[in-house]
Amino acid sequence: MRLAVAGLIIATGLTLILTIGVNRPAAEGDEPKAAHASALPAPNAAAPPRGVPAPVDRPNASDEKELAAWAKEVGGLTGIPARAVRAYGLAEMWMRSDAPKCRLTWSTLAGIAQVASKHGGEIDKDGELVKPVVGKNDRVGPLHLSLAKWKAHRFRASRDGQRPDPQQIDDAAVTTARALCARGGDMRKARHWWSAVAAHGGSTTFAQHVFVATKRYAKASAAAGR
């Protein structure tokens, strides 16, 4: 009787493994995989569509209310946490004056953050990640900045005199924007977009997945302000 029960358990286990497979957590550094390879865009064929613009930057007035309202609306449309959207929008606003020819949009930063860390997980009201993100190959923060790029372009978004923090979403977003725009290209053009994003993530495959996420967020945000 015991042998029969044991045989039944083993047979059931083998059936489950063969039909369902074994679940395992994704290893750190695994490339994100699309459901179908054909879903990934051809590199350099086009730049992704641009999301609804972040609010107009007013140098001599506070933009906080407009930015917060915009982030809440866009977050609701895209499924991105509003606190993260605010950071990406702030970076877009900053780069309009810091690197106007770059024409970087928040949706590209959102695409990078989604692929890199799913927007860093839980973020507190001050923009700090509840659980710090440390990636493979010395990459840090929600947008997986390399330590070299962090050191070269780090910036304190609040300009409060404190040290820039790679685990603070505003600092990470603006620093990533500065690193992307430092290459000198117009991000509306396919070859510049692909070159900058692939260099940031370390591979063309990374850029392909960012393209998919960026396109999805840009399209979802189109209804904002209607």
Residue 59 covered by a domain:
yes
pLDDT at 36: 59
Residue 1 covered by a domain:
no
pLDDT digit string, tens, across residues 4-19: 434 433 344 433 333 3
Lowest mean pLDDT among 53-62, 135-144, 217-226: 53-62
Q: What pTM value is reported for the model?
A: 0.83
pLDDT at 208: 98
Mean pLDDT for 194-203 is 97
Residue 7 covered by a domain:
no
Residue 108 covered by a domain:
yes
Residue 161 covered by a domain:
yes
Residue 60 pLDDT grade (very low, low, confident, very high; cuts 50, 70, 90): low
pLDDT at 12: 40
Domain that holds residue 130: 51-223
- Indicate the SS3 state at residue 51: coil
Residue 3 covered by a domain:
no
Residue 35 covered by a domain:
no
What CATH number does residue 164 fall under? 1.10.530
> Is the model's pLDDT at 124 over the cut of 80?
yes
Domain count, the chain: 1
Residue predicted with more confidence, 154 or 23: 154
Which two tokens mark 165?
A: 């923090």
Lowest mean pLDDT among 23-27, 55-59, 134-138: 23-27
> Is the model's pLDDT at 126 over the cut of 70?
yes
pLDDT at 38: 63
Residue 5 covered by a domain:
no
Residue 184 pLDDT grade (very low, low, confident, very high; cuts 50, 70, 90): confident
> Is the model's pLDDT at 201 over the cut of 60?
yes
